[in-house]
């Protein structure tokens, strides 16, 4: 069951608000520079993505996520995971 980009985006914005207290970030905001999002936050976000998709990410898939800086990039990343 594929989820739409809109659903992914909505869920991510909820995760950012609830888990990281980042409200309404711009989809192209650099999360690290503009919102203080760090590597520990990224690890927590990956576990939320795993829950959202109902799967476990491989080390390789997690490494691919390390260069992600914006919500749009996270959406692209999740869409690429779903295609596998």
Q: If you average pLDDT over residues 77-82, what whole number do you get? A: 91
Q: Which domains does the chain have, with CATH numbers?
A: 5-82 (1.10.1200.10)
Encode pLDDT of 35-66 as tens digits: 999 999 999 999 999 999 999 999 999 999 98
How many CB atoms within 10 Å of residue 71? 20
Residue 1: is its pLDDT beyond 70? no
Label residue 2 by pLDDT band (50, 70, 90).
confident
* Predicted structure pTM score: 0.91
């Amino acid at each position: 069951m594929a989820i739409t980009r809109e659903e992914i985006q909505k869920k991510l914005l909820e995760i950012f608000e609830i888990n990281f207290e980042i409200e309404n970030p711009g989809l192209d905001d650099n999360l690290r520079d503009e919102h203080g999002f760090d590597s520990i936050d990224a690890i927590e976000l990956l576990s939320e993505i795993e829950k959202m998709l109902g799967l476990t990410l491989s080390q390789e898939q997690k490494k691919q996520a390390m260069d992600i800086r914006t919500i749009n990039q996270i959406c692209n990343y999740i869409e690429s995971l779903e295609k596998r």
